[in-house]
Amino acid sequence: MATIQPLPLDNPRWSELSHAYGPAVDTPGLLGQLLAQPNRDVDDPVWDQLFGSICHQGSVYEASFAAMPHLANIAERAEPRPALWALNLITAIAVSQNRRGKMPPDLAPAYESAVARLSELAVRALSGADSFREVAICCGAIMAGRGWLEAASHIFDPIGDDQYTCPHCEERLV
């Protein structure tokens, strides 16, 4: 199977893509930092800056779609526990119901390739999960990777409120 290349981080097109705060000129630098050091802790400000700009309060943008394959590469390079942070962001983007930007058609193949890798990446990262929330990240990623986005959105909590509810009866699970 041929590898689908993501938008290169040095491509000037990033400045034409939008994120929550306007042109995504900072996104390649943030992704580059994470690719260079994929085992950064969830509290590292780079994760917060990236999440806040490409998946701001559950909204996704053109830069979100371009970032997906890079995030999958970060998850692949990271040890299982830090891979969870990339999976958290990837799954948040995949299950978002609030799409502020449309996916540019030329970015779709790399985006879809990244989504197709989610299940494999989540199974690998599961060994690093040590809380219900972290296991839910893996479960949500597996479901999103299989195309079960609605189901994934019911158990996956990208904002971190840990409000997991049954999709049928709305009873709080945790």
For residues 34 and 86, the answer to whether their CB atoms sit within 8 Å is yes
Band (90; pLDDT cuts 50, 70, 90):
very high
Q: What is the mean pLDDT of residues 93-116?
A: 87
Band (1; pLDDT cuts 50, 70, 90):
very low
Task: Report which DSSP code applies to 14.
Answer: G
Ordered domains of the chain (ranges, CATH) = 16-155 (1.25.40)
- The model carries a pTM of 0.87
Q: Helix or strand or coil: residue 18?
A: strand
Tens-digit pLDDT profile for residues 117-162: 999 999 999 999 988 888 989 999 999 999 988 888 877 655 555 5
Comparing CA positions, the residue from 127, 61, 115 lying closest to residue 90 is: 115
